Amino acid sequence: MMNKSYELAAFSHEIKNSLTLIYGQLQYIENENITLKKDEHWLKMKEDFASLFEMIRQTLRPSDTTSAAMEPLDLVDLFHEIQSSWSYQMDREHIHFRLQTDSPGPYYVYGAKAKLLQMFHNLVSNAVKAIKRKKGASQAPNITVTLSREQGHIVLNLSDTGIGMTREQQARAFYRGVSFIPKGNGIGLSVVHEIAEELHIKIHMDSALNHGTTFTLVFPSTERVEALPV
């Protein structure tokens, strides 16, 4: 009998790759037929597809070690991928995405690429939803990622100008099945917490109602990757 976790990891990999290819074809079709960008049915279909992709990505989290090889990864490169994936929805919601560094990159960490991308996608998804739920924003909505080096560690701050959370909500935010969004599944932030624990990343959340949320991630010591070429 095949290992069930291996089967799930393989299925997760294949279905997400297929959905990525399909979405790429949708983008190509739209670019070749510019009038589709004004077609309400087309836009709704793309939005529904994006929601389905997000749900599958959250549910089919890669868990098998064969699909989670640890390797040196540049966080700047990873967030360029994240920005590209979310550019359509951010443009539609008029959300400005900024990536800031306190010194020239790269910012290498050791991690499993699939899991880091999963974690970052979920954090960005949470930020986008928080911004969309905020009423009467007085400033342009934005998501800011800041990278810095502190005492041998890479520190990542991801901030949004969304609706924020109360202290009570913050205390329960990482629990699986707990959601503060209508029709939310309560998976996204719980997966973030699980991956952070697995990769030995310290995570902290600071939020204030109607002022936004900041997630701080402190990665393990970078001594192992200091010798990598810049």
H, E, C per residue of the chain:
CCCHHHHHHHHHHHHHHHHHHHHHHHHHHHHHCHHHHHCHHHHHHHHHHHHHHHHHHHHCCCCCHHHCCEEEEEHHHHHHHHHHHHHHHHHHHCCEEEEEECCCCCCEEEEEHHHHHHHHHHHHHHHHHHHHHCCCCCCCCEEEEEEEEECCEEEEEEEECCCCCCHHHHHHCCCCCCCCCCCCCCCHHHHHHHHHHHCCCEEEEEEECCCEEEEEEECCCHHHHCCCCC
Q: How confident is the model at residue 168 (pLDDT cuts 50, 70, 90)?
A: confident
Mean per-residue pLDDT for 191-196? Answer: 90
Mean pLDDT taken over the chain? 81
Q: Is the pLDDT confidence value at 36 over 60? A: yes
C-alpha–C-alpha distance, residues 25 and 31, integer Å? 10
pTM for the full predicted model: 0.71
- Please give the pLDDT value at position 56: 73
Residue pair 74/106 in contact by the 8 Å Cβ criterion: yes
- Please give the pLDDT value at position 120: 93
pLDDT in tens, 50-99: 777 777 766 665 554 444 678 999 999 999 988 888 887 888 889 999 99
Q: Is the pLDDT confidence value at 10 over 60? A: no
